[in-house]
Structures are given as structure tokens and as C-alpha cells.
């Protein structure tokens, strides 16, 4: 009995010591990190019946993702953007840019996102005093959520142009899943509400939000997992394998209905419409692409990764909207030996965002010049830039 008591005392002492150590670590992390580490600003997310999830309006806090720490703020409409009004001010040419985490500006400051660069770079068309670009991007959104937001909320901003950002790394898949959420358990699909309401899901979210030590542990395990594949993009192997098969041929049929709907919505408010093609790292960086193909034992002649942009372009042409492929400026950066992605994952870094924003302004201007030269050529690639005929890039 006496020995048992001693063992219990020792076990209690060890447990108390561990608990104090964990509490101390948690306090220190809170002082240093300022926010729990998460791929998304988890405290800024709210459940949304229209688009599954959106940003909390008027949020002002910190977002940490591994070594990256930044201020994350939203306006009264729940957009990571400057404050604005539903009613468009007189003399303003208003552009809506809608998309996922790339439009949100994952890993970069708000003023570094390509939509902000576009606003600063593009001169107003004739008859307008200034250009305003409103960006609505949320991590995890796909074409279904983006189109729902445009139809039920975006049109209220009275846009003159609507640009849908299409990331080739996952938006093809997102377009086929519609209102379903991908859960990697037994390769099955769970309805979003089913996944969100499961006790395990709720527990994981609560831990991420409230226990800094837990989020740091997950980050550490994630980084170790990345090193196993030499920090490759998560899309690399899937992209090259799919490009070798015939799955790509059917993808146009999945995305064209979204582009058709975008054109229809634009027509209801006389807004020009188009799609911005955002390529993955492996598509944009040819040196990295050659390395990945060699790693998986695939010859360069066996696969053409430009097929993804071609599919989006074809769908846009058939839907009658413009397309703007951001591959050239990113490929130029890669050719110059510049890094285009974050140190944490395959999202664009600030320099890549800047290149895309400047290129997009020039591309809009170039297409409007082409429209002028052909005296109203009705080709879809030019059809959505007529109001920019008198615009000039700085």
C-alpha cells in the first residue's frame, strides 16, 4: 500500500510537470506567434449557407502559416479588401475579381495581391475617373461557390467587368464536385454539411483555433511530410499523371456551364466577363517541370502540361467570354531563376502576384487594341474588353 502511494505521487508529479510544461509552451507560443498556425485564417472563417464558408465581416486579426505572419483584415462585406459601397460611385469603372485562395492572397499582404496591383496599374477607360477592383477570394472556394457569390452578392456591387480566377491545380476537380466536400477517407465524398457537422471535424477546428501548441505540431508534421517529396507541389504528380490519360478531354464539359452562367450573369447587368487562368507551379516553371517529369520517369515528349490552359481557353471561347492566361509572366520569372511560390506551399509569392497584376492590365489593354484594329471582331477572346479601348497602362 505504501509503495502504491509512492508510485501515485510520482505519477502525479510527472503529470503535473508535463502539464506545466505544456501550459508554459502554450503561453510562450501565444506571445510569439500571435495567432494559431493554419493554412487559412481560421478565426476569420464563418459558416455560410450560400457558399459554405466566407470571411467574418470587419475582422481584424493575425494570420500565421508556418514562418509567415501577417495582419488579416476584412471590410464590412466580409471581403479582404478596402472598404467600399454597394452603390458604385460616379466615374468609377468597377471590376470584380472572384476566386479561391489565390485571389484571397494566401501568404501575402493585402496590398500585394494581384487584384490590388491591377487596380493600381490599369488606367481608367475613357469617360471614367478611376478603376476600382473588388476582390472576393476565399480559401477552399471553387467555381460553384464563386458563381453563387457572384449571382447573389457580387452583382449588387454594379460591376462593369467580372473576372473569374481559375486555378488549374484544383478548380477542374472543384467544378465536378459541385456542392460536395472532398474527404480523404476511403476515397468517398461527403456532403459539406455532413463533414462540417461531424464531431471529429468540429474538434479539429476547435483545436486549430484555440491550441497553439497543437497547430505548431501539425505544421511540423506537415513540413516533414513535404521534405519527403523535396517540397514538390501537391498537384505535381496528379497533373502529370492525368495529362498522360484521357481524363482531360471531359473536363471542358464540366467547366463550360460555369462560364456560360458567368456570361449570362454579366448580360443581366451589362458587365463584361472573362476568366483569368492561374497555372500551377509545375506548369509555369519549366525547369521545375523537367525535374518533376524526370523524378516520375516521364519523358518530356510524353506529356504536354499546357493542355490545362488550353482546355480553359476552349471552354471560355465556346461560352463567349474572354480568357487571360497568366502563364507567360510566371514562366518568364521562372526562366530568370526567380521563385514564384511561397516557402510554405505552392501559392504565389508577392513578386509573382505583382507580375500577374501588371500582366493582366497589359493583357486587357492588348485585347482592347486588337478589338479596335479588327473593328469590333466578335471573337470571344476580345469580346469582353470594349470599355477599355481608351485605357492606358502606366
User: Residue 348: what pLDDT?
Assistant: 94
In this structure, which topology does domain 42-181+225-388 adopt according to CATH? Rossmann fold (3.40.50)
DSSP state of 159: -
DSSP state of 338: -
181 touches 28 (CB < 8 A):
no
User: Which three three-digit cell numbers place residue 259?
Assistant: 462560364
User: Residue 228: what pLDDT?
Assistant: 39
CB under 8 Å to 234, separation ≥6 — which residues?
345, 346
Give the span between the Cα atoms of 107 and 29, in whole angstroms: 20
User: Residue 195: what pLDDT?
Assistant: 52
Give the span between the Cα atoms of 99 and 246, in whole angstroms: 27
What stretches in the chain show pLDDT beneath 50?
179-192, 226-234, 370-384, 387-394
Give the span between the Cα atoms of 293 and 303, in whole angstroms: 9
* Distances from the Cα of 259 to the Cα of 99, 113, 168, 275, angstroms: 13, 24, 15, 8
User: Residue 2: what pLDDT?
Assistant: 67
Amino acid at each position: 500500500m505504501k509503495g502504491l502511494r509512492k508510485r501515485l505521487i510520482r505519477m502525479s508529479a510527472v503529470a503535473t510537470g508535463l502539464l506545466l510544461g505544456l501550459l508554459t509552451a502554450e503561453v510562450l507560443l501565444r506571445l510569439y506567434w500571435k495567432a494559431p498556425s493554419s493554412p487559412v485564417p481560421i478565426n476569420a472563417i464563418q459558416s455560410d449557407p450560400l457558399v459554405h464558408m466566407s470571411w467574418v465581416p470587419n475582422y481584424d486579426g493575425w494570420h500565421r502559416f508556418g514562418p509567415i505572419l501577417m495582419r488579416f483584415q476584412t471590410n464590412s462585406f466580409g471581403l479582404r479588401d478596402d472598404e467600399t459601397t454597394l452603390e458604385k460611385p460616379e466615374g468609377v469603372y468597377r471590376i470584380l475579381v472572384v476566386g479561391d485562395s489565390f485571389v484571397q492572397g494566401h501568404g501575402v499582404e493585402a496590398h500585394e495581391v494581384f487584384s490590388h496591383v491591377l487596380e493600381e496599374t490599369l488606367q481608367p477607360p475613357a469617360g471614367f475617373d478611376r478603376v476600382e477592383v473588388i476582390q472576393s477570394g476565399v480559401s477552399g472556394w471553387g467555381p460553384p461557390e464563386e458563381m453563387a457569390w457572384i449571382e447573389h452578392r457580387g452583382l449588387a456591387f454594379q460591376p462593369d467587368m467580372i473576372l473569374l480566377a481559375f486555378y488549374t491545380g484544383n478548380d477542374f476537380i472543384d467544378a465536378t464536385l459541385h456542392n460536395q466536400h472532398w474527404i480523404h477517407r476511403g476515397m468517398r465524398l461527403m456532403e459539406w454539411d455532413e463533414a462540417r457537422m461531424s464531431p471529429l471535424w468540429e474538434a479539429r477546428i476547435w483545436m486549430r483555433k484555440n491550441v497553439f501548441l497543437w497547430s505548431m505540431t501539425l505544421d511540423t508534421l506537415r513540413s516533414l511530410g513535404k521534405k519527403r517529396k523535396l517540397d514538390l507541389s501537391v498537384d505535381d504528380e496528379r497533373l502529370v499523371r492525368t495529362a498522360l490519360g484521357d481524363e482531360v478531354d471531359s473536363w471542358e464539359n464540366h467547366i463550360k456551364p460555369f462560364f456560360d452562367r458567368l456570361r449570362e450573369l454579366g448580360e443581366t447587368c451589362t458587365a463584361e466577363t472573362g476568366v483569368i487562368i492561374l497555372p500551377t507551379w509545375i506548369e509555369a516553371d519549366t525547369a521545375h517541370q523537367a525535374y518533376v517529369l524526370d523524378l516520375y520517369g516521364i519523358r518530356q515528349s510524353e506529356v504536354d502540361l499546357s493542355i490545362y490552359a488550353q482546355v480553359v481557353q476552349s471552354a471560355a471561347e465556346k461560352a463567349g467570354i474572354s480568357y487571360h492566361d497568366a502563364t507567360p509572366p510566371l514562366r518568364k520569372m521562372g526562366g530568370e531563376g526567380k521563385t514564384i511560390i511561397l516557402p510554405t506551399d505552392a501559392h504565389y509569392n508577392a513578386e509573382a502576384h505583382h507580375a500577374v497584376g501588371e500582366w493582366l492590365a497589359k493583357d486587357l489593354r492588348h485585347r482592347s487594341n486588337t478589338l479596335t484594329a479588327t473593328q469590333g471582331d466578335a471573337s470571344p477572346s476580345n469580346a469582353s474588353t470594349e470599355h477599355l479601348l481608351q485605357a492606358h497602362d502606366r
